Chains A and B, each alone.
Chain A
Amino acid sequence: MFDSSLSSLGAKVVVATSSDENHPPENIIDGNTNTFWMSTGMFPQEFVIRFAEPTSISAVTVDSYNVKRLKIEKNSSQNASQFESVTEKELENTEGHLQSNTISGIGSSATHLRFIITTGYDHFVSVHRVSVQN
C-alpha cells in the first residue's frame, strides 16, 4: 500500500478550508509531491481525508511547506465529525525544500483523518502529499 496514492485506493478529501482552483485539495492524496493544495490565508486551516473503508494506520507521512503547528485527529465513524485527538506537533522550518514528517502512533483503525494547521511560517502554507503506512 505504501507505494499507492491514497486516491487510487479510494480515499477522498472531504473538507478543506481553502481553495485555489489550480491547487485543489485532491492534490494532497494523488501521491505526487509536485502537485499541492495551498492555503489561501489565515489560520487555522484544515482538511479531512476519508478512507474507502476502516483502515489501520501505523503512521502518516506529510509532505508540506511552511507548516508550523500541525494537529491530527481521527475517527472511525461514517461522518466527518466527532474526532478524537491523535497528536500535535511543531514542524521544522525548511527553507527551499519540502518538509517531510512521519508521524507515528496513530493507533487503531480510522475512517477519517483530520489535519489542522494551527500556525505557519508564512501567511500561506502548502500540503503536497499525505501517505499512510499500515
Chain B
Amino acid sequence: MVKLRARCLLVGDAAVGKSALCHMFHSDGTLFHKNYSMTTGVELLMKCVNIPETSDSVELYIIDSAGKETLVEACEKMWGQPSLLCLVFDLTSEQSFANCSHWMERVRAHWQGLHVPGVLVGNKSDLSSRREVQASVAQEWAQSQGLEYHETSAKEMNNFDAPLLSLARALHSLYQERRETIQNLSPG
C-alpha cells in the first residue's frame, strides 16, 4: 500500500469553470455553483483518490488559482513546485483556448526541469450550440504540449471527474516507473 501526494495546479482564463470543476470533483458531483464567484487568490482543496485495482491512493492537493490576469502574478507565488497540471478553457470561448499557450509558458517556469503530467480540459460541453473550439483542434494542440485532452461539463456532471482521476493515475504510474529505476540503480 502506497499513499502518494501531489500538488495539482489548476489554471486557465477567468470564468472557464475551474472552481466549478474542482468543487464538483471534491464533492463527488454534489456541489455546482450556478452563480459566478470569482476566485481572487488561490484556493486549496484536498481530495484522496483510490487507484483502481490497487490498494494505493493519491492525495491531490488542488491549487485552484485565479484566472483574472491582474491577479495571476500574486497567485504564482503560491504555486510552489507543482507535480501535476490541469489547464482549463471554455469550449464556447475561442479566446480562452488561444490563451492556453500563455498559461503553458507561465506554468513551465515552475517545473524546474521536472516532467509534469498534465491535462487540457475543454469545459462547458453542455453549451453545444455556442461551441467555438473544435475537439480535433484542441486535441491536436494538447498533444503538441504533451497534455491529455478531456471535454467536461461541470454543470451537467459530464465527465467532470475524468481529468483529475487521470492525473492521479498518471502520477501513480510515474511513481512505479521511478521506483523501478531506483531498484535497478548501481551503488554510488
One of A8-16, A73-81, A119-127 contacting the partner: A119-127
Q: Are A99 and B182 in touch, CB under 8 angstroms?
A: no
Residues of A within 8 A of B5 (CB): 18, 40-42
The answer to whether B175 touches A41, judged by C-beta atoms less than 8 angstroms apart, is yes
Size class of B's contact patch?
20 to 34
CB of A115 closer than 8 Å to a CB of B: no
B77-107 residues at the A interface, CB under 8 angstroms: 81, 83
Q: B81 near A98 (CB under 8 angstroms)?
A: no
Q: Are A19 and B3 in contact (CB under 8 A)?
A: yes
Residues of chain B contacted by A19 (CB below 8 angstroms): 2-3
Closest to B182 in A: A126
A98 partner, pick from B6, B7, B113, B185, beta carbons under 8 A? B185
Give chain B nearest CB distance to A70 CB in angstroms. 15
Chain A residues with Cβ under 8 A from B112's Cβ? 119
- The count of chain A contact residues (Cβ–Cβ below 8 Å) is 27
Give A43 to B1 CA distance when docked, in angstroms.
Answer: 20
Min CB distance B174 to A, Å, is 7
Is A63's CB within 8 Å of the partner chain B?
Answer: yes
Asked if A122 and B187 sit within 8 Å, CB to CB, the answer is no
In the complex where A42-B61, A97-B186 touch, is A123 in contact with B174 (Cβ < 8 A)? yes
A binding-site residues for B, Cβ under 8 Å: 18-23, 33, 36, 38, 40-43, 63, 65, 94, 96-100, 119, 121-124, 126
Q: A40-B175, A123-B178 are known contacts; what are 20 more A-B pairs with Cβ within 8 Å?
A: A19-B2, A20-B2, A21-B2, A33-B188, A38-B182, A40-B4, A41-B6, A41-B59, A42-B5, A43-B81, A65-B185, A97-B185, A98-B186, A98-B187, A100-B187, A121-B113, A123-B174, A123-B175, A124-B178, A124-B179
Q: List 25 A-B contacts (CB under 8 A).
A: A18-B5, A19-B2, A20-B2, A21-B1, A22-B2, A40-B3, A41-B83, A41-B171, A41-B175, A42-B5, A42-B6, A42-B61, A96-B186, A97-B185, A97-B186, A97-B187, A98-B188, A100-B188, A119-B81, A121-B113, A122-B178, A123-B114, A123-B175, A123-B178, A124-B179
